[in-house]
Structure 1
Amino acid sequence: MKNSADAVAALKGTDGNPIGDPKKILQEAFSNTTGVQGASTACIVSHNDGVLRAANVGDSGFMVFRDGKMMYKSQTQQRRFNCPYQLGNHSSCDRPDSAIQMEVTVMVDDLVVLGTDGLLDNMHVEEIEKIIAMTMVAKAEREGKTVEEKLAREIAEAAYYKSLDKYGDCPFVRASLLEGKHHKGGKVDDITVVVGRIIQNYDLHIKINSDQKSTPE
């Protein structure tokens, strides 16, 4: 994540502003990640002039909510069930060229929710919509938080508790049934949630807060 942030700062257009090209950011961050073991999915999203642009590798992703309802959900990449594309330095791992690129038009006050598979495999869209509906601005302000911060925390916590539910229904259960498998209950996994709100449609400003929940593999 730090290398991605560094890439955003380093990559400038001819006007001196950040280029906001998610795939170039991903490529730059990957090239600066050396001597690291393991592999990782990646989802990078930028906003410019009313358009979200994204580069996604693996089964992390993002959703856009307007007036509390989901109006866009990104594609994910898997070679087979529960086997996502992953970036890494090993010869068997994927490279940034594998990334899916997406564009979606957004409006002021749209919410952008990014998450790892620990979120997407455990939470149904309607459950996230319910949390958005219940998270009022006044309530967040009383607790000394931004709405985005409160949403990120509440969505991450809900995903965490669902991951521990041995008998609950979740997207991963339904996906396993389609593959002829019989997984029961939530999927224990690392959970990262980032929530941004579109506050301007003419530059790269997205107000972002995030929350993470870690669980053992």
Structure 2
Amino acid sequence: MLEVNWLALFVVGLLGGGHCVGMCGGIVGALSFGLPASRARWPLMLAYNLGRVGSYALVGALLGALAQGGLSMADFAPLRWGLFVAAQLMLVALGLYLAGLSALVTRFETLGRPVWRRVQPFIARFLPVRRLSQALAVGALWGWMPCGLVYSASLSALASGSAAKGAGLMLAFGLGTLPNLLLMGAFAERLKTLLQRRAVRLVAGLSVLALGVAGLLGALLAHAG
């Protein structure tokens, strides 16, 4: 049986740092605005990321439960195989995007925009962020922002066929995104400059692409066997 590697999703989240900073940079700036002491920012940053990663885990649990319900009624092995392949193809597309070689993955992000348009207005109710509860709420809402990285991980959660595995996979992905976003709060400009370097983008993108290709080869071998 094909299994998505939790470590692989952690690495995807980690190497996709440039994309994460670009997507979440605005809210990180909002959390930091008006707080001169760096020590005062850290609790808010942690609460924000706790909410964001919690949303990812919730999405993973819901998708895994959805697949689990279907799998309990019939043999959906071909469907699981197809979902796994789709997740790996998304990783390949993400790798090309992170390396600056293709923008195809951004087209998938448009699929979530209708939901995001409904969620986004609620964020304004918690800004400016001054309390931990506000940061937690903003993070939980921001977790629904259309993102190719999240969609790729979500496909893996769906392919897992289990609510617990789906939540665990999305949690691993979310934890992988933490270093970049936490560091951005303290070293925003320096980190942004580093992640925009051509060599860094190329290495990160090709690494994610390699994970996708490795998954595809595993899926083909399993299917052939």
TM-score by length of 2: 0.25
TM-score by length of 1: 0.26
More helix by share: 2
More strand by share: 1
